Amino acid sequence: MGTFSIWHWLIVLAVVLLLFGSGGKIPRLMRDMGQGINAFKKGLKDGDKKKAQESEPGAIEDDSAATAARVDTGAEKEAKKAAEG
């Protein structure tokens, strides 16, 4: 009762292979999530800059290059690869 049977180990092995051996789906998902979090934080900072600019015009310069930067999602990267190949 306290030990695992062969079926328990096979199920664990199948889950591990599914998560980590499936062509990098999990790492790609985590990278996309990290990019989304970074874009969210950047949006919060840009909102704070705009509020500070409205209260003190001229105190903070507008960083239009940073606001124009864009984060590619995994779906956009895959679409580019499909278009190229």
**How would you label 14-52 residue by residue, b for 16+ Cβ within 10 Å and e otherwise?**
eeeeeeeeeeeeeeeeeebeeeeeeeeeeeeeeeebeee
Q: Which among 38, 40, 16, 36 has a CA at the least distance from the CA of 28?
A: 36
Give the pLDDT band of residue 2 (cuts 50, 70, 90): low
pLDDT of residue 66: 47
pLDDT digits over 22-60, tens only?
667 777 888 999 999 999 999 999 888 888 888 875 544
67 against 22, higher pLDDT: 22
pLDDT of residue 74: 63
pTM (whole model) above 0.85? no
Provide Rg for the chain, Cα atoms: 22
- Confirm if 32 and 38 have CB atoms less than 8 A apart: no
